[in-house]
Amino acid sequence: MPAFHVKVKWGKEMYPDIELDTGEPPMVFRAQLFALTGVQPQRQKIMLKGTTMKEDTWDGLKIKNGVTILMMGSKEEDVPVEPTEKTAFIEDMSEAERNTMLELPVGIKNLGNTCYLNAVVQCLKTVPELHSAIKEFKPKRPGGEADSSAASSSLLTLVEVESGSLLTLAIQDCYRTMDSGKTAVPLVLVNLFRTNFPRFAEQGEQGMYMQQDASECWTELMRLLMQEVTAIDASKTSKNFSSSLIDQFFSGEYSCEWKCVESEEEEVTQSTDKFQQLMCHINQDVKYLHTGLVARMQEQITKRSAILDRDAVYTKKSKISRLPAYLVVEMVRFFYKEKGAVNAKILKDVKFPMILDVFDLCTPELQKKLSPIREKYKDMEERQLEEERAVKRGKPLAPEDKIRTRSLPFSFEDDFGSNNSGFYKLQAVLTHQGRSSSSGHYVGWVRWKGNEWLKCDDDDVTAVTEEDILKLSGGGDWHCAYILLYGPRILEIPEEDDKKPAEEVKMEAE
């Protein structure tokens, strides 16, 4: 179907050149208008020569180039609020209202088998650098320059806003709504996600949208944000990881050694690979996350041998040469089962830690760089242990007796967005409940305050404990950890160290 260039009149504003593609669902056009005006799609009434545009079809509209389309609707903040306060009882409140009363964050509405997307969005929201960057996101012009007034000015016509930018704006709106204490209804986000990635728009026999794999959703969203969200202080980041914020904070690097098993004459070769996830393959020997990660660092791969002039088996040994600030670990729980043609699930119990140490997965060169800062964690742990012992003895330290501390950066000075210690702290878990990746239910579990956690089951958000999180390791039909998101473990040092000469502090660490 053709694309038209139309005019849109909204109140006193006239937008003279907007592309309307009737080959896409009307929701995409509504999302474009939302990006331009800030009027939510559900608040838009769009008319052409007396005919109102329907939500899911272009039928009845006679569209041609240059035609003027009338849009009515106001931004949510423009709607007057009823001043009368009514007595509210907790049992009569919605989940979002109860969360507001109890100062709990809110969730995201499930629009029909969209829990996989909701869980991913909730987990990514725990990364403060990404959360802030998305909330401040501005669409780019074709030349690559962000327009500071793109969301409210007619200077940037919507024909210039690419679909990826629209989808990022939809995530932005979702985050802003949640931050304001209101449950997000991700109508625009879901429709644009399905438009950008059509395989997630698969429908069943009765026309209902089908459940999708949260890991595939995670991968697609990260790839999109890689293109849309720019790096922070790119000049302070290693040039190989400064292309975007996702590259800075989520991308690591392997140093790989290749040895041909079938030829002694062939020399050992070296290569480097980027990664955004570590994979934990699960078999009968894997009972702990670390075991699965170590096993993945050596594998047998078949590839072409120049000396043998045929395919041959190689042993590939990998070590991490760059650690990202945020480490994503996928528990490889699904495999294709021909009988039934489904991605069947491995329910095995695999324990994961709250504090993850990946020092032994790193190259000797990186280990040498990590060692100085790692020594300081021992002092921090001793201080924390002493405070815990005092509490157990019934004599907690008085505030004036506690050592005042400050946080140290978690990145190397010459590589902003990296991890400088090898230590990580669990901050989000995405779980699956069910027997197949294309069925069942996905939930996000996120660290909230200190050791307090939240279970984000779509728009039902409840407080849980660390013990509840550790029970997500699998072993049955309860929620099983599928994706683990580890963030930097922050190092706290005594403020007295600030008074010491820099050389002395460095010598102590070494």
Active site residue 441: yes
The whole-angstrom separation of Cα 95 and Cα 5 is 43
Alpha-carbon separation of residue 319 from 302, 322, 413 (angstroms): 20, 9, 22
At residue 451, what are phi and psi to the nearest 5 degrees? -100, 10
Q: Are 316 and 384 in contact (CB under 8 A)?
A: no
pLDDT value for 408: 94
* Greatest extent of the chain over all pairs of C-alpha atoms, in Å: 85
- Is-contact 296 256, C-beta < 8 A? no
Find, among 190, 179, 182, 188, the residue nearest to 118 by Cα: 190
| Distance (Å, whole) CA 51 – CA 144 | 38
The distance from CA 447 to its chain's CA centroid, rounded to whole angstroms, is: 14
- Which ranges of 300-404 does DSSP label H, i.e. alpha helix? 364-392
Give the pair of three-digit tokens for residue 156. Answer: 């940037």
317 sits in the region (left: phi over 0; alpha: psi -120 to 50; else beta) called: beta
Contact 131, 175 (CB under 8 A): yes
Domain ranges of the chain: 1-75
Judge contact between 175 and 181, C-beta under 8 A: no
What's the length of the chain?
Answer: 510
Owner of token pair 């495999």: 335
Task: Give the dihedral of Cα atoms 165, 169, 171, 174; nearest 10 deg.
Answer: -170
d(CA 456, CA 307): 55
Q: What are residue 335's DSSP bridge partners? A: 344
Cα(52)–Cα(500) distance, integer angstroms: 72
Nearest to 348 by CA among 285, 442, 426: 285
Q: What is the torsional sign of CA 422, 426, 432, 435?
A: positive
Q: Which amino acid is at 24?
A: E
Neighbours of 268 (CB within 10 A): 11
Torsion on CA atoms 344, 350, 354, 357, rounded to nearest 10: -110
CA atoms of 30 and 32, how far apart (whole Å): 5
E strand spans, 323-459:
327-332, 334-337, 342-345, 355-357, 405-407, 423-433, 441-449, 452-457
Cα–Cα–Cα angle for 203, 206, 210, rounded to 5 degrees: 30
CATH class of the 1-75 domain in this structure: alpha beta
How many CB atoms within 10 Å of residue 386?
Answer: 13
Token output for 285: 């020997």
Q: How far apart are CA 250 and CA 428, in angstroms?
A: 14
**CA dist 204 to 111, 210, 211, 237, 435, Å?**
15, 6, 10, 46, 18
Mean pLDDT by 10 residues, the chain (510 residues): 82 85 81 81 84 83 88 69 49 54 82 96 98 90 50 38 85 94 93 94 87 95 95 90 95 96 93 95 92 93 93 96 98 80 84 97 97 91 86 81 88 96 98 85 95 95 96 90 97 74 50
The amino acid at residue 491 is L
From the list 237, 193, 232, the residue with the least C-alpha distance to 216 is 193
Closest CA to 483 of 499, 468, 472, 494: 472
Work out the end-to-end distance of the chain between its first and last CA atoms, rounded to an integer number of angstroms. 67
Of the residues 5, 115, 260, 290, which is catalytic?
115
- Give me the catalytic one of 5, 131, 281, 441: 441
C-alpha radius of gyration, the chain, whole number: 26
Assess whether 256 carries a catalytic annotation: no
Decide if 237 contacts 248 (C-beta within 8 A). Answer: yes
Q: Two tokens at 135? A: 């909330």
Q: Which residue matches tokens 């950008």?
A: 196
